[in-house]
Every structure is written in structure tokens, then in C-alpha cells.
Amino acid sequence: MRIVLAIAALLALHAGNAAAQAYPSKPIRFIVPFPAGGLIDIYGRSAAKAISDALGQPVVVENRPGAGGTMGADAIAKAAPDGYTIGLPTISSLGIAPHMFAKLPYDSLKDFTPITNVCIAVGAIVAHPSFPANNVRELIALAKANPGKINYASPGVGTIVHLGVEHFAVLAGIKLNHVPYKGAMPALTDLLAGIVPLSGDASLTAAIPNVRSGKLKVIAVTSRHRSPLPSEAGTIAEAGFPDFDISTWFDMVGPAGMPADIVAKLHGAAVKGLREREVTERFTAIGAEVIGDTPEQFTKTIRDEVVRWGPVVKAAGVKAE
């Protein structure tokens, strides 16, 4: 009997190893939790192509927008943990959402398998050229003279843009009026048209061409250090808020329970593809820094961000609508 059990165990191990070696044997679904054409879609498709090139299998992007990215994140969490569904949730859906929603359909720390942090993007506060303020100090003075009367756009309630601006408003002692949109592109469209005068931007990717053409202006960069893209734009930290440092990370995860060898294969493919010179230069050109850290390092990042955003959400008094 023991011999039979030993043979069965060896056969199971062999079958498992064979399956892992064969992976991937079919296209991989890559869920992007925001609409096509926006910032996160650009990063997602770039990452998907890098993985596809490295693994030699199609990686098909599926846009699943809604509820500040949580609908797409939930679709990833509930997929089969076989390596054929992965995705690109963001700091909004993994770090911020746990403090925004009373009944989030997933647990950021338990329901995902971290693969790697794809990149970090520098954010900004941008404005229509007609907006009277040109920097942080002028914005604060204008907002204090007109409490609650200045509208600002965001890609949705609970996104990093929304919470970033609200965090700044709390620190500055001002009141701004939030106007949520269903994605970054609709918000940008109305900003360009002057329908809303001000907006946060999770990355300078979409804003920079319009800044260079004079259709928008940068009020401030939200990271601690200046961006080389609008090198003349100051930071919120420089304006008297030295601890203010908000950048956006875009992460690659799968559902919980993925086999370690498949995770290793996906991680290796992602890092190899992302560190190709052409890919790195493409990300740099749109204001992002490729990271490509280990699953263990990124697990710690998620845990740290969940802890970090709790007090920010509480201080801002923001809840999902």
C-alpha cells in the first residue's frame, strides 16, 4: 500500500511539474480595471505586450472599469488561480479601497497573489489656462477666499487622484468641491473644455502634451521630487508641506493561491520585458519609472500602503458613494 501511495505521489508531482513547464499553453487574460484609452490602460497594454513577448503567448487585455477600479480588481480576485488571469489593479483599489468601502468584495491582503510592481508614476494638480492660480500658494489663497466654490475633477470616488487632492486640502486647511468622473479621459475632456477648472492627475502622461501646447498648466507635482517632464513645476512639498509625497503605483497580481512556479515564471517574464531598453524608455517618456520588484517586496508595499491610507481617508472624511 505504501508503495502504491508513493508511486501516486510521484505521478502527481510529475504531472504538476509537467503542467508548470507547459505554462502558458494558451492566451493569458490581463484585466485592466479602468476604461480603454486612459492612463492605466496605456500602462496595462505596455506590460501585457512585454509579458507576451517574453512568454511567446498572446496576452489579451480586458478592460473592466467601475467603482474606482474595484470591479476589475474583484474580477481578478475571483478568477481561477491557474495563471491564465492576471491584472493591473492600482493603489486605489488595493491600498485605498479597504478604507472607503464598508463591504469591499475582496481582501487586498488575502485575495491576491502579488507578482510585481510594474511602475510608479508622478502625479500632479493641473488646471485650465483660465484658472487664476498658477502655483500651490496661489491656489490655497484662492480657495480660502472662495471656500467650497472651486471644483476639481477626478477619475472617480476613492481613486488616488481624489484622495490625493483631499489629503492636500486637509493639510492646507481649504475646501475644494469634488466632481467625480467615470475615468481619466472624461475628466480630462471637461478640463480641456474649461467645464471644470482644476483636476488631479495620477500621472503626467495625459497632461504633458496639453501643457506643452498651452491647453493646460501644472499647478504642482504631487511627488516629493520634481518631474523632469515639466521641470519648472514645483512640488507641494516645496510649498510648505515637506511630508507630502503621493505617487501612483501600478501593480501586477493574480488571484490568491497561484502555484509558486507559475508566479515565478510570470514574474521573470514581466521583469525581463519591462527592463528591455525600448520598454523602459517608453515608460520614462510618459512619466513613469519601471520597478519590477519581487513578489515578496511588492507584498510588503501593499501592506504598507493599506496602513498608510487609513488615516488619510479618515481625515478627509471620504466614503464611497
Domain holding 160: CATH number? 3.40.190.10
Specify the DSSP class assigned to residue 95.
I
What pLDDT score was predicted for residue 228?
A: 60
Give dist(CA 233, CA 227) in Å, integer: 8
Give dist(CA 45, CA 32) in Å, integer: 9
226 within domain boundaries: yes
Specify the DSSP class assigned to residue 92.
I
292 and 261 housed in the same domain? yes
- Residues of the chain with pLDDT below 50 are 1-2, 4-16, 18-19
204 and 259 housed in the same domain? no
What pLDDT score was predicted for residue 10?
A: 46
What pLDDT score was predicted for residue 64?
A: 93
210 and 139 housed in the same domain? yes
Task: Evaluate whether 280 touches 130 at the Cβ level (below 8 Å).
Answer: no
What pLDDT score was predicted for residue 227?
A: 67
146 and 64 housed in the same domain? no
- How many distinct structural domains can be found in the chain? 2
299 within domain boundaries: yes
140 and 191 housed in the same domain? yes
10 within domain boundaries: no
What pLDDT score was predicted for residue 102?
A: 85
33 within domain boundaries: yes
* Residues spanned by the domain of 86: 27-119+247-316
32 within domain boundaries: yes
142 and 234 housed in the same domain? yes
> Mind listing the pLDDT tens digit for each residue in 278-312?
888 888 777 788 999 999 999 999 999 999 999 98
Decide: helix, strand or coil at residue 153.
strand
Using CA atoms, how far residue 317 sits from 3, 103, 104, 158, 304, in Å, is 64, 17, 18, 11, 21
Task: Evaluate whether 77 touches 31 at the Cβ level (below 8 Å).
Answer: no
139 and 225 housed in the same domain? yes
Neighbours of 298 (CB within 10 A): 22
Give dist(CA 41, CA 73) in Å, integer: 14
